[in-house]
């Protein structure tokens, strides 16, 4: 049976529309050593924005509780999915049973000395480690990366080289950002901080999960369009 072909009109029309940040933006040819990141929130945001999976636009998730704001740029890596493989990796690394992926794209914190005024942007980042976070029975890894070309952080290649207080600040944010007022026990836990090579493992597992879950989308995406720079 011959494979159905997409109409040529679709290839012409598609570049006129904004790609979906999760599915329509490539992770990058150098992944996992360097990845594309879609930024949802910046450290000055007092409202937590997140991607609306259906439309591809940012939506308001909730106001940040108390004075708790994200200490870094925060978003996700396109064309990743935290599913079965990601859950298995987390279970193997922690010795826990019944761990599953949270069904979202892979989260990432990007360190930069520069102030970005808003999210809803793409950038290139270099993974240097991550936080192994578990929310109930769900793996919810937070990759730690540095902005490519950043004057202060751009040369860092291992999370061990980060100041201890910076990592503690990231851990504190994620341990408290879902905490309801008056709660006495953390809703989530961070089992450990891992290095660059383990971050690569996490990214690869989420790439495999994405292929398993959304691999059929590739046949619907238009070929890249060359644009002449002026």
What confidence tens digit (pLDDT) does each residue in 62-104 have? 887 676 789 999 999 999 999 999 999 999 999 999 999 999 9
Residue 78 lies in domain: 18-214
Is residue 229 in some structural domain?
A: no
**Total number of domains constituting the chain:** 1
Nearest to 192, CA basis, from 226, 167, 217, 210? 167
Residue 160 CA, distance from chain mean position = 20
| CA dihedral sign of residues 26, 32, 33, 35 | positive
- With a CB cutoff of 8 Å and minimum separation 6, the contacts of 151 are 113
Residue 78 belongs to some domain of the structure: yes
Question: Residue 230: inside a domain, yes or no?
Answer: no
Structure confidence by residue, pLDDT tens digits, 123-181: 999 999 999 999 999 999 999 999 999 999 999 999 998 999 999 999 999 998 877 66
Please report, for residues 31, 58, 80, the alpha-carbon distance to residue 213 in angstroms, rounded to integers and kept in the order given.
19, 22, 10
Asked if the structure places residue 100 within a domain, the reply is yes
Q: Kindly list the distances between the CA atom of residue 3 and the CA atoms of 10, 111, 224, in Å, as whole numbers in the listed order.
A: 17, 45, 21
Decide if 6 is inside a domain: no
- Say if residue 15's pLDDT is above 90: no
């Amino acid at each position: 049976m011959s494979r159905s072909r997409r109409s040529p009109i679709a290839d012409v029309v598609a570049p006129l529309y904004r790609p979906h940040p999760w599915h329509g933006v490539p992770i990058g040819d150098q992944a996992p050593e360097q990845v594309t990141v879609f930024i949802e929130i910046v450290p000055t945001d007092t409202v937590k924005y997140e991607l609306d999976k259906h439309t591809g636009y940012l939506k308001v998730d909730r106001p940040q509780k108390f004075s708790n704001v994200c200490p870094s740029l925060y978003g996700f890596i396109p064309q990743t999915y935290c599913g079965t493989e990601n859950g298995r990796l987390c279970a193997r690394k922690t010795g826990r049973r019944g761990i599953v992926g949270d069904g979202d794209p892979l989260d990432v914190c990007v360190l930069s000395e520069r102030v970005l005024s808003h999210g809803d942007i793409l950038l290139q980042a270099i993974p240097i480690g991550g936080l192994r976070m578990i929310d109930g029975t769900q793996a919810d890894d937070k990759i730690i990366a540095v902005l490519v070309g950043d004057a202060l952080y751009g040369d860092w290649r291992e999370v061990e080289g980060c100041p201890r207080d910076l990592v503690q600040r990231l851990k504190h944010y994620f341990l408290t950002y879902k905490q309801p007022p008056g709660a006495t026990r953390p809703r989530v836990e961070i089992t450990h901080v891992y290095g660059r090579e383990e971050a690569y493992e996490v990214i690869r597992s989420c790439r495999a999960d994405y292929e398993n879950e959304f691999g059929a989308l590739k046949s619907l995406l238009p070929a890249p369009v060359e644009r002449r720079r002026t």
